[in-house]
Amino acid sequence: MRTILLLLGLVVGSWWLFHTFFDSGDAALLSQQTKLKTITLTVNQELVGVFATDRSTVGEFLRSLGYTLHERDQILPERETPLLTGMTVAFYPARPVTLKIDGKSEVLYTAADTAEAILRDQGVVLDEDDIVEPAREVVVAAQAMLQVTRVEIREEYKDTAIDYTTAVTEDSKLSWRTQQVTQKGEKGTKRTTYRVSYHDGKEVRRKVVSTETLKEPVPEKITQGTYVKLGKSHRGAASWYAWTGTMAAANPWLPKGSYVKVTNLDNGKSVIVVINDRGPFVPGRIIDLDKVAFAKIASIGAGVINVKMEEIVN
């Protein structure tokens, strides 16, 4: 049997595959008889077989077995290494993988196995927070997508104003038109610190880390006069109309810009308004209050009420 196959090998004169028909001892014997080299081949760490070949280099040997070599293949020993009988050739063929990183996508060929090894092979430097899909330790299959999301963690802060409060103190000795600021208010400042996550330059998460008051607000203090000096008093009816939406009123005779105190005789409620219009021109009515002012002393539904109107002279 061995003699017949030896004669056949001399006719073919190329290479012999022994992992199906022979063990390594058979290959060594034939190698001695024919001067062929006995080579063990593994692909991706799996034994393919033991071969007898007359090829000169590792690369020629692999090509003779039908492998198409790529520049990214990992071959141990290197492809230009002269073949020696008894040598083991470890072949890690490159496979296509799509790498998506930094806004770019490209198909690359790699013999590295895990995602991390592929990226290292491509010269990609990863930060510990970067997201790799599939995970760094996972073996990436041929034709698969390998995606890297750059993650940047920043600490940012934002300052916001704190409004001050206003305290009003009344003084019956000061005119009702007098208002004195005894302490000017100042806004305070609050700082909020955030931990912000960016994925490929886009913010995806913002978390409050701390808040602190950099400056306390200073309250404003105001003294408001309440002394009202009254002059002539008039009695009659008061109605309302929608005009300026302010504390104002119309009167047939008082100068525009003058002030009056209007008191509802039914409930004692009063309001001070400025005369800014003419009217009402209805017998018995002495003042037409703006709707806003009327609502301070009576229900809008009342329509017309009995009032006392006192001129203010200070």
SS3 of the chain: CHHHHHHHHHHHCCEEECCCCCCHHHHHHHHHHHCCEEEEEEECCEEEEEEEECCCEHHHHHHHCCCCCCCCCEEECCCCCECCCCEEEEEECCEEEEEEECCEEEEEEECCCEHHHHHHHCCCCCCCCCEEECCCCCECCCCCEEEEECEEEEEEEEEEEECCCEEEEEEEEEECCCEEEEECCECEEEEEEEEEEEECCEEEEEEEEEEEEEECCECEEEEEEEECCEEEEEEEEEEEECCCCCCEEECCCCCCCCEEEEEECCCCCEEEEEEEECCCCCCCEEEEEEHHHHHHHCCHHHCCEEEEEEEECC
The segment(s) of the chain belonging to CATH 3.10.20.90 are 95-149
- Please measure the distance between the N-terminal and C-terminal CA atoms of the chain and give it in whole angstroms: 136
The segment(s) of the chain belonging to CATH 2.20.230.10 are 153-225
pTM exceeds 0.75 for this model: no
The structure tokens listed for 76 are: 């141990």
Per-residue pLDDT of the chain (314 residues), as tens digits, is: 333 333 333 333 333 343 433 444 555 555 455 589 999 999 999 999 999 999 999 999 999 999 999 998 999 999 999 999 999 999 999 999 999 999 899 999 998 999 999 999 899 999 888 999 999 999 999 999 999 999 999 999 999 999 999 999 999 999 999 999 999 999 999 999 999 999 999 999 999 999 999 999 999 999 999 999 999 999 999 999 988 899 999 999 999 999 999 999 999 999 999 999 999 999 999 999 999 999 999 999 999 999 999 999 99
Matching residue, tokens 């021109």? 281
Supply the pLDDT for residue 241: 94
For domain 153-225, say whether CATH 3.30.870.10 is its number. no
Query: What is the bridge-based pairing of β-strands 248-250 and 285-290?
Result: antiparallel
Looking at domain 229-312, its CATH architecture is: Beta Barrel (2.40)
Residues 13, 14, 18: CA angle, nearest 5 degrees: 105
Looking at domain 2-92, its CATH architecture is: Roll (3.10)
Q: Which residues partner with 240 through β-bridges?
A: 289
Looking at domain 95-149, its CATH architecture is: Roll (3.10)
